[in-house]
């Protein structure tokens, strides 16, 4: 099994490249974007030293399914997926805000709560919550989108005060975020899962608010299993989950949270295999389909051939 960790593609009509933490985005002529989902994995805003086989394929195919299933709610950027790890869509002007929505007190929110904070991004949290408890209602806790370094929590009030977007655009994003989370929650429940929290990113295409990037993947979302959730909460046990939170926990246990002076721990091959299997498990659980492993003998050539064939036949 090979993993796609770095590449330098040359697509027809290519004008520029942006290399993100886990995705590489190629801008083409005619306002097209080619988004390659690599097998890199990041946590605490750091890229881990080893790639995770099939991770990019999982992310791309799960995101594609949810983008197709939500285009009645909000227009999105996606046009085609000519390769298991590639999405092609329209270029949008990105809005530099992540719309994070939480239905449960988990992950970052739980860590902040445990530290004594009862206000998160301007949203008041009630007393007496335990980690992984369901919140009275889903809350939106936005973050500023950073090209490098840490994204930062921000309140709706600060977003509007800093004029990062107009009140009208923010209201539209807020509405879409709640509707998308509701749809994702319903689809997860059909598969015996709880959509705990997730994030959405939006852009403007011809002035229209448009959903961009991936949605409802294990990189952007956290899932719990419905079966046993109540019993585990009652007993104070950790929830069984499908997300990359277990990667963050492994890093924490090995002394790394992305802070200055901390060294990234060594990743044994068996842990890499576990991560790969977890991503595949989520794909099969959330889609109800058997995961078909793409040929990884020469991933770069496969992707380049598939994308250029699509562009030539457009």
Average pLDDT of each block of 10 consecutive residues along the chain (314 residues)?
A: 86 91 92 95 91 95 97 98 97 96 96 96 97 98 76 94 97 98 97 96 97 91 95 95 84 93 94 92 91 94 95 90
Give me the pLDDT at residue 148, please: 57
Distance of CA 115 to the CA centre of its chain: 25
Q: Give me the sign of the Cα torsion angle 139, 107, 55, 288.
A: negative
How high does pLDDT run on average in the chain? 94
Q: Which tokens go with 179?
A: 């509707």
Tell me the CA distances in angstroms from 49 to 3, 44, 260, 268, one per residue in order: 12, 13, 17, 10
Count other C-beta atoms under 10 Å from residue 87's C-beta: 26
Give me the pLDDT at residue 204, please: 98
Opening angle at CA 116, ends 113 and 120, nearest 5: 50
Give me the pLDDT at residue 281, please: 87
Give me the pLDDT at residue 262, please: 94
Distance of CA 5 to the CA centre of its chain: 18
Nearest to 239, CA basis, from 250, 230, 248, 252: 230
The pTM is what? 0.89
Count other C-beta atoms under 10 Å from residue 138's C-beta: 17
**Spatial contact of 221 and 195, defined as CB atoms under 8 Å apart:** yes
Residue 263 CA to residue 280 CA, distance in Å, equals 29
Give me the pLDDT at residue 132, please: 97
Nearest to 140, CA basis, from 110, 175, 112: 175
Nearest to 130, CA basis, from 156, 109, 151, 147: 109
**Helix intervals (H) in 16-106:** 55-69
Tell how strand 221-225 and strand 208-212 pair up. Answer: unpaired
Radius of gyration of the chain (CA): 19
* Tally: H helices and E strands in the chain: 8, 17
Give me the pLDDT at residue 222, please: 92
Give DSSP secondary structure letters for 265-295.
PP--HHHHHHHHHHHHHHHHHHH-S---PPP
Tell how strand 208-212 and strand 193-205 pair up. Answer: antiparallel
**Spatial contact of 287 and 65, defined as CB atoms under 8 Å apart:** yes
Residue 121 CA to residue 170 CA, distance in Å, equals 15
Give me the pLDDT at residue 314, please: 84
Question: What domains are there in the chain, each with its CATH number?
Answer: 93-242 (3.30.470.20)
């Amino acid at each position: 099994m090979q993993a796609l960790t770095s590449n330098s593609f040359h697509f027809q009509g290519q004008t520029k490249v942006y290399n993100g933490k886990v995705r590489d985005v190629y801008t083409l002529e005619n306002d097209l974007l080619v988004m390659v989902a690599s097998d890199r994995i990041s946590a605490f805003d750091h890229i881990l030293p080893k790639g995770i086989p099939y991770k990019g394929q999982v992310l791309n195919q799960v995101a594609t399914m949810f983008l197709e299933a939500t285009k009645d709610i909000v227009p999105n950027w996606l046009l085609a997926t000519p390769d298991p790890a590639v999405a092609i869509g329209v270029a949008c002007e990105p809005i530099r805000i992540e719309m994070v929505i939480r239905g449960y007190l988990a992950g970052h929110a739980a860590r902040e709560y445990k530290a004594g904070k009862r206000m998160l991004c301007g949203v008041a949290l009630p007393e007496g919550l335990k980690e992984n408890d369901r919140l009275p209602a889903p809350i939106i806790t936005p973050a500023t989108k950073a090209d490098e370094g840490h994204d930062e929590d921000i309140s709706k009030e600060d977003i509007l005060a800093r004029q990062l977007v107009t009140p009208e655009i923010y209201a539209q994003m807020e509405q879409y975020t709640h509707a998308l989370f509701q749809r994702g929650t319903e689809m997860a429940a059909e598969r015996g899962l709880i959509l705990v929290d997730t994030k959405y990113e939006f852009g403007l295409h011809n002035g229209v608010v448009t959903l961009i990037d991936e949605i409802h993947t294990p990189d952007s979302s956290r899932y719990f299993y419905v079966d046993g959730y109540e019993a585990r909460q009652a007993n104070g046990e950790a929830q069984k989950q499908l997300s990359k939170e277990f990667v963050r926990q492994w890093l924490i246990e090995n002394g790394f949270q992305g802070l200055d002076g901390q060294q990234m721990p060594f990743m044994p091959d068996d842990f890499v295999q576990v991560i790969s299997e977890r991503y595949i498990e989520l794909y099969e659980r959330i889609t109800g389909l058997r995961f078909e492993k793409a040929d990884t003998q020469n991933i770069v050539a496969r992707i380049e051939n598939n994308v250029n064939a699509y562009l030539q036949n457009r």
